[in-house]
């Protein structure tokens, strides 16, 4: 049985898919919380928000939305009144009028950050080697290979469009800062988390703690759900 009927909806970011949540999902559910993952097309911020809204329409009760990386912009773009709280896992949180790219490049990246550019078809892929050096350096080699094989590219239309008023200005937010993240600098994450006045936890984890530190991710989500029941 779920806690007071609140459901956690887990939203993947760029270069990942629903499987990136599998470890954390089991831990969340073991705490008596109903949780699901959704798939984003990653074709535009509007398309992704529409995909999320379609799922939320099918949910009967209140929801806590969880976003990783780019999905932070998606979960804050919905206008669904079912959403009680937002959880950011090393996620991007542009303010009104900003783009995802604006906050992604707010502060300088370190030398392990990969070079990103659209391919001939207009999609941005993560270089395969980056899964082991910047995206999930704490994962096992087997996990890194699986992540690279399952990666889903993102369109520039996701990251170059200014967002409207984000939902985090109206409801509570939680933020897990990944201190060893080579994709989104820790300084950038802390800036966004403090700007939204989130409940902040910081840990020496990589960009994909749902795979490499699922217990920490689950703990933040469980806390958000339990506090939202009031």
What tens digit of pLDDT does each residue of 201-226 get?
999 999 999 999 999 999 999 999 99
What's the average model confidence in pLDDT over 137-161?
96
For residue 4, the model assigns a pLDDT of: 54
Integer Cα distance of 62 and 59 in angstroms: 8
- What does the mean pLDDT of the chain come to? 95
Integer Cα distance of 217 and 92 in angstroms: 16
User: Could you tell me if 16 and 90 are in contact, meaning their C-beta atoms sit under 8 angstroms apart?
Assistant: no
| Start-to-end C-alpha separation, the chain | 17
Place of tokens 């928000």: 49
User: Could you tell me if 10 and 37 are in contact, meaning their C-beta atoms sit under 8 angstroms apart?
Assistant: yes
For residue 230, the model assigns a pLDDT of: 55
* pTM as predicted: 0.95
Integer Cα distance of 123 and 152 in angstroms: 10
Integer Cα distance of 87 and 69 in angstroms: 11
What digits encode the pLDDT tens for the residues 111-129?
A: 999 999 999 999 999 999 9
Banded model confidence at residue 2, pLDDT cuts 50, 70, 90:
very low
φ/ψ bin of 42: left (φ > 0), alpha (ψ from -120 to 50), beta (otherwise): left
For residue 5, the model assigns a pLDDT of: 84
Domains contained in the chain, number: 1
User: Could you tell me if 30 and 167 are in contact, meaning their C-beta atoms sit under 8 angstroms apart?
Assistant: no
Report the CATH number that the domain containing residue 170 is assigned in CATH.
Answer: 3.40.50.1820
Integer Cα distance of 182 and 110 in angstroms: 7
Strands 173-178 and 83-89: parallel
Token duo for residue 25: 């999902």
Domain that holds residue 117: 3-228
Integer Cα distance of 206 and 136 in angstroms: 6
């Amino acid at each position: 049985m779920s806690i007071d009927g609140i459901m956690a909806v887990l939203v993947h970011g760029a270069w990942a898919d629903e499987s990136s949540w599998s470890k954390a999902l089991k831990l969340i559910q073991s705490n008596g919380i109903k949780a699901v993952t959704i798939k984003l097309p990653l074709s535009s911020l509007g398309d992704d928000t529409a995909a999320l809204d379609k799922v939320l329409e099918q949910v009967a009760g209140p929801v806590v939305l969880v976003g990783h990386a780019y999905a932070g912009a998606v979960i804050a773009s919905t206008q669904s009144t079912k959403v009680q709280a937002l959880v950011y896992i090393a996620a991007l949180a542009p303010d009104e009028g900003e783009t995802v790219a604006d906050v992604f490049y707010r502060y300088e990246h370190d030398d392990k950050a990969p070079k990103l550019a659209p391919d001939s078809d207009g999609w941005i892929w993560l270089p395969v080697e980056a899964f082991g050096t910047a995206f999930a350096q704490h994962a096992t080699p087997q996990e890194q290979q699986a992540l690279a094989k399952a990666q889903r590219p993102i369109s520039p239309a996701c990251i170059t469009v200014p967002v409207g008023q984000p939902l985090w200005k109206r409801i509570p937010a939680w933020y897990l800062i990944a201190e060893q993240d080579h994709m989104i600098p820790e300084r950038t994450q802390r800036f966004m988390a403090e700007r939204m006045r989130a409940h902040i936890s910081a840990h020496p984890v990589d960009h994909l703690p749902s795979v490499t530190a699922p217990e920490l991710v689950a703990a933040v989500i469980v806390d958000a759900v339990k506090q939202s029941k009031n």
